[in-house]
Amino acid sequence: MPAKRWRSCASRSRIRPHRSSLRGLFVDSADFDALAVLAEAKMPPASWAFCAAGADDEITANENIAAWRALRLKPRVLNDVGNVDLRTSLLGAPVSTPIMVAPTGRHKLFNAEGERATARGAAMAEAAYVMASNSNVTIEAAAAERKTAPQWFQLYYWPNRAEVEALIDRLAAAGFSALVLTVDAPVPGWSPRAARAQHAPSPEIRNINMPGQPMARTAYHPDFAGKVMYPATWRELEWLAKRAPMPVMVKGVLRADDAARCAACGARAVIVSNHGGRHLDGTVTTAAVIGDIARALSGKAEVYVDGGIRRGTDILKALALGARAVLIGRPVIWGLAVNGAEGVRDVLDHLRVELTRAMQLCGAANLAQLTPDLVA
């Protein structure tokens, strides 16, 4: 969302930038607004622009948030909600929370430890972490922070299949338990905001797991405009599903027919996503299509969702509409920038507390009781 809107919330959020922890910040409805202000103050301008940017007019980036907030709840009453159970399973692996860390790249732009701190914060919160292709630490370094929560890897399918195969084998050796193929950005989108504040490439910040370990650059540069950088097709999805020694899922699906075809090609799950509104502006919101896709995939594949989720009530709505779990993007980066691994943990813990309270107020004691009739 535009920085101007975040600043408008600052006066009512009692921001205290000197805090060593974020926990005292999370006390009212403007919590993430205030956290975004703190994060912007900590980041170089180009890093903030890359984090905050949406494509073109940023319509989708903003509407993602508004769409979850526009949905209304129909709570049940007189149910026993003294003990709320958030446990679920992701691709068969038990987890204590349906809140995950979404794949976002170049974390050394936000914290000196990069994705190592993100992975550690996710592990501290017992949340699954999806590491991005364009991360700035090795997959082995992130794996060292794992503990008991699953780690998945987000893949941009680059043209050389042998290089993709080598990476898949490294991921398997490092214990990554799923492969997330991103399919909604074959060419980069365009962000005027990020293009005006270009990150200067640095030898110290590399996309270290990509072929050639290139210096990290953002996609919002004229050199990349219109170039097909990640040429995945249905053929590549079928090959990946057969070749990978771990389950494959597809990220970036907004249509029920595409979701069903993904499952038919061997995908074990889909992530309903419009890339946070960062590539194609004017798409449908994820809140608008999660229900249709979940119905289309019932019994065929698991369904996850990201995009604009900022509150525990947003998470409840997503789960009630058929998502097995949600993925959190920008707020995790804000926490990382402000307080490293502990900041990531605090963001995830805050959302867990909010989800628990929302479930109690809706009369649901476990995730199985979050059904579509709770959402108007």
More confident residue, 77 or 20: 77
Alpha carbons 359 and 367: distance in angstroms, whole number: 9
In this predicted structure, what is the pLDDT of residue 219?
A: 77
Q: Which residues are catalytic?
A: 275
Report the helix count and the strand count for the chain, using DSSP H and E.
Answer: 13, 10
Question: What are 99-115's pLDDT values in tens digits?
Answer: 999 999 999 999 999 99
- Answer whether 177's CB lies under 8 Å from 170's CB: no
Structure tokens belonging to residue 344: 């990531």
The dihedrals phi and psi of 325, each to the nearest 5 degrees, come to -160, 165
In this predicted structure, what is the pLDDT of residue 8?
A: 30
In this predicted structure, what is the pLDDT of residue 262?
A: 98
Structure tokens belonging to residue 126: 């017992």
Give me the DSSP letters along 42-86. Answer: HS-HHHHHHHH--STT-HHHHHHHHHHHH--B----S---SS-B-
- Residue 231 is assigned to a structural domain of this protein: yes
In this predicted structure, what is the pLDDT of residue 12?
A: 29
- Looking at the predicted structure, is the pLDDT value of residue 9 above 60? no
- Residue 255 is assigned to a structural domain of this protein: yes
- Residue 213 is assigned to a structural domain of this protein: yes
- Looking at the predicted structure, is the pLDDT value of residue 283 above 80? yes
Least confident of 37-51, 189-203, 357-371: 189-203
The mean pLDDT of 128-141, rounded to a whole number, is 98
Distances (CA, A) of 234 to 92, 237, 239, 292: 25, 5, 9, 21
The mean pLDDT of 81-101, rounded to a whole number, is 98
In this predicted structure, what is the pLDDT of residue 231?
A: 86
Count Cβ atoms within 10 A of the Cβ of residue 199 and give its class: 0-12 exposed, 13-18 middle, 19 or more buried. Answer: buried
Place of tokens 């006066």: 11
Structure tokens belonging to residue 93: 């692996």
Structure tokens belonging to residue 306: 């990201």
Structure tokens belonging to residue 159: 């043209």
What's the number of domains the chain is made of? 1
Residue 169 has a CB neighbour count (10 Å cut-off) of: 13
Question: What are 15-24's pLDDT values in tens digits?
Answer: 333 344 676 6
In this predicted structure, what is the pLDDT of residue 24?
A: 65
Q: Left (φ > 0), alpha (ψ -120 to 50) or beta: where does 175 sit? A: left
Q: How confident is the model at residue 217 (pLDDT cuts 50, 70, 90)?
A: confident
- Residue 146 is assigned to a structural domain of this protein: yes
In this predicted structure, what is the pLDDT of residue 30?
A: 54
- Give the containing element (helix H, strand E) for 246: none
- Residue 84 is assigned to a structural domain of this protein: yes
- Looking at the predicted structure, is the pLDDT value of residue 210 above 70? yes
Q: With pLDDT > 90 as the criterion, what percentage of the chain qualifies?
A: 81
- Residue 55 is assigned to a structural domain of this protein: yes
- Residue 376 is assigned to a structural domain of this protein: no
Q: Which domain holds residue 347?
A: 3-371
The dihedrals phi and psi of 37, each to the nearest 5 degrees, come to -65, -45
In this predicted structure, what is the pLDDT of residue 150?
A: 97
Alpha carbons 230 and 228: distance in angstroms, whole number: 6
CATH of the domain at 176: 3.20.20.70
Question: What are 146-203's pLDDT values in tens digits?
Answer: 999 999 999 999 889 999 999 999 999 999 999 999 999 999 888 999 889 888 888 8
Residue type, position 32, single letter:
F
Residue 57 has a CB neighbour count (10 Å cut-off) of: 12
Q: How confident is the model at residue 222 (pLDDT cuts 50, 70, 90)?
A: confident
Least confident of 13-22, 220-229, 308-317: 13-22
Strand partners, 325: 304
DSSP alpha helix (H) spans, the chain: 3-8, 31-42, 45-52, 59-70, 115-124, 139-143, 161-173, 192-196, 234-243, 256-264, 286-296, 312-320, 330-361
- Residue 291 is assigned to a structural domain of this protein: yes
In this predicted structure, what is the pLDDT of residue 21?
A: 61
The mean pLDDT of 68-87, rounded to a whole number, is 98
Residue 46 has a CB neighbour count (10 Å cut-off) of: 16
Structure tokens belonging to residue 171: 């991921």
